[in-house]
Structure 1
Amino acid sequence: MKKIIPLPSLTKKIKNILKRILPLLLGVFFIWYSYSNTTASDRQNIIDSIREANYFWIVLSMLMGILSHIIRAVRWNLLLEPLGYRPKIINNVLALLVGYLANLGIPRSGELLRATTVSTYEDIPFQKAFGTIITERIIDVLMLLIIVFITGILQTEIILDYFSDKEINFVKIIITLTVLGVLGISFLYFIKKAKGGFLGKIKAFVKELLEGVLSIFKMKKKWLFLFYTFAIWGLYIFMFWVIKWSLPETNTLSLNAILASFVAGAFAVSATNGGVGLYPIAVSQILIFYGISSNAGDAFGWIMWSAQTSMIVIFGALAFLFLPIYNKNK
């Protein structure tokens, strides 16, 4: 007799599958879109540009990426210390790389895997570890918004024209964010009143989660945390900056063009699995706006995406293999 799956469980499973598959399908669609909108001659020119690129700058960009991950791993301890934990930096780095690798397959799964990994090998409660990762993500969003703001100040007229052409309604965006904020605060207030049962368990989980999130306010080395944060994001931008010298057509790109394409690439990464398919298109379209040919823009986008993705795949796989070996006594 076949087992009948309850409708709510089936619906939940379908939602989970869609969350995993849709970003990947979106990436595949953009790869197809990019392919179908170029001629055989265009594709050959892009391939030739990539083949003839100066790989010194590409390797330098990858090294900057590795350094940014190491700094992020070191900075993580500043969030964990107020909670009474100080894991080994090597475990932080390995957990971070494994998490980034997981995100290429299933969006946002890397944060869970990273918290699980450090919880397993360093005996840190999952909720607290995950809470500090949420804090990191909040800081990342704030840093990206700062870069977007700076980019906007440097080229306000261009961006306003773009939003006007796309008919983007800022009032709707503000209203949506306000509603989400009110719902979030209401949820926390409702959970706070719970005293037992299932809601009590959720309350205990949220309490430890918030303890991790709010650990940033208990840090003794706030200025060091700020320094590491700017170092990480400075390296992100420099990773982008040095790639421009890998192609003759892009070595004269201005700071405005670099910042604008960096922002476009950052949003593309959040939309699909690691930016697959969409990242090169987003970067290329921005560079075309700044006078770079379509082929050179596509080549730049694919070089940047391929370099950083290859770095994560290689070092993430090595981290996955090395973690149990390094922690064999645990």
Structure 2
Amino acid sequence: MLNIKFKQGIQIVISLIIAIWIFWFLYKDIELASLISQVRSSRWTWIVFSLAISLFGYWLRGWRWALLMNFEEGEKVSPGRAYHAVMVGYVANLLVPRAGEVARCGVLARTNGISVGRLLGTVIVERSIDLLFLVGIIFLAFLVENQLFLALAGEMVDLQGLGSKLAANLPLLLGGAAVFALFLYLLGRMFRNSGLIKKAQGFGRQLLSGLQSISNLKNPMGFWLSSVVIWIIYFFTMYTVSLAIQSTANLTPGEVLLVMVMGTIGMVAPVQGGIGTFHALVAYILIQFGISESDGKIFAAIIHGTQLILVLVGGLISWLVMVRIPAWNKPDKV
């Protein structure tokens, strides 16, 4: 147990070092006076408006998550409580990459008596839907800015060479996948009576229960509509900040869409809060639009920094709210 915690601690430290190094490498040549000047000259009405939009987006995420929790187990989760759990999860992600999903489930398991496995199942549903929408957003960006999109994709990845290599090694890839699946099956058969396997199977059934919740929604229209609005909010959060800064005020909606796509990819990277990776990708795409390197990096710093402050303040408030709620006790049977 100690070795596992030690390895996890090492992984966290390594990811944090990588994030800090990327951030330092990007901003080592940016003068602090230049950053302060840009912050002061920004139109903060737009930035405050972007924060208000983001806060509504976080609440909407909680409301959408609550729709998935149609469990007989425990106490029904209100949208407000789901929102607070989501915010606690965002703060946890700033400490440990990808820990937020488990943290928000753990918070609700404590206050509402729903098993972590079932809650994680609903989070998997959320993440799957978000991935689907991200693919859709990337396709939309391709339609709006197809020439620039293809040029950028060609610079980052040799698409033709990658396709040729996959086609040439397809039989090997399929064979390796089949062997790996057979290995997992035989391993499960050998240890099917062990306590660890039984616990894993029980946890898997709980996850499946969470996944099945999407087919039993009482408000499917609300779920899908809120999923669309969440991504619209992401766009307007980025767009309003671009209006606040003189160097990016003339970006077209299509260009801001590409910036949003790159920023989202940066946030997915396994580092704390997308630090460094978000800044690098956003600055890179802005440079392609003719914005100076320093202005692109400053824009990334302003939007990430303001969102970081919002998450920290909102998340800590939500954590204080949740810890004041008594732990859920299973009612006695009459």
Offset from partner CA, 1:178-204 (integer Å, 9 cap, x none):
899876798589769986333222111
Gaps of 5+ in 2: 330-334
Distance in 2 of aligned mates of 1:150 and 1:173: 26
Distance, in Å, in 1 between the alignment partners of 2:132 and 2:250 is 29
1:256 and 1:114, CA in 2 relative to 1: closer, same or farther beyond 3 A?
A: same
- How far apart, in 1, do the equivalents of 2:324 and 2:12 lie? 30
Q: Distance in 2 between matches of 1:140 and 1:189?
A: 34
Change (3 A) 1:252 1:39: closer
1:246 positional shift:
0.8
CA 165–284 in structure 1, closer or farther in 2 if over 3 Å, else same: closer
**1:27 paired to 2:19:** yes
Looking at structure 1, the residues matched to 54 and 60 of structure 2 have their Cα atoms a distance apart, in angstroms, of: 10
**1:64, 1:235 within 8 Å by CA — same for their partners in 2?**
yes
Correspondent of 1:220 among 185, 195, 218: 218
Instruction: State the 1:124 CA deviation.
Output: 0.6
Deviates more, 1:124-133 or 1:248-257: 248-257
Q: Which moved more, 1:212-221 or 1:305-314?
A: 212-221
What does residue 115 of structure 1 align with?
A: 105
Length, aligned pairs only: 319
Which amino acid is the alignment partner of residue 265 of structure 2?
F
- Name which of 116, 131, 135 aligns with 1:141: 131
Offset, 1:283: 1.0
Q: 2:258 aligns with which of 257, 260, 274?
A: 260
TM-score scaled by length of structure 2 = 0.85
Q: Percent identity over the alignment?
A: 24
AA in 1 matched with 2:46: W
TM superposition shift of 1:238: 0.7
Q: Which residue of 2 aligns with 1:286?
A: 285
Do the aligned partners of residues 185 and 300 (structure 1) sit closer, same or farther apart at CA in structure 2, a change above 3 Å counting?
Answer: farther
- Distance in 1, matches of 2:127 and 2:189, equals 24
1:98 is aligned to: 88
Q: Is the 8 A contact 1:98 1:110 kept in 2?
A: yes
Q: Is the 8 A contact 2:145 2:255 kept in 1?
A: no
Of stretches 107-116 and 191-200 in structure 1, the one that deviates more from structure 2 is 191-200
Aligned pair 1:70/2:73, yes or no?
A: no
Shift >4 Å, 4+ stretches: 82-85, 172-195
In structure 1, the gaps of 5 or more residues are: none
Shift of 1:280: 2.2
C-alpha distance 151-179 of structure 1, shift in aligned 2 (>3 A)? farther
1:80 partner SS = coil
Match of 2:246, SS state, is coil
* 1:87 CA drift (Å): 0.9
Post-superposition Cα deviations, 1:234-253, rounded to whole Å, max 9, x if no partner, equal 11111011111111221111
Aligned positions of 1:118-267 closer than 5 A: 118-169=108-159, 170-171=162-163, 196-198=193-195, 199-267=197-265
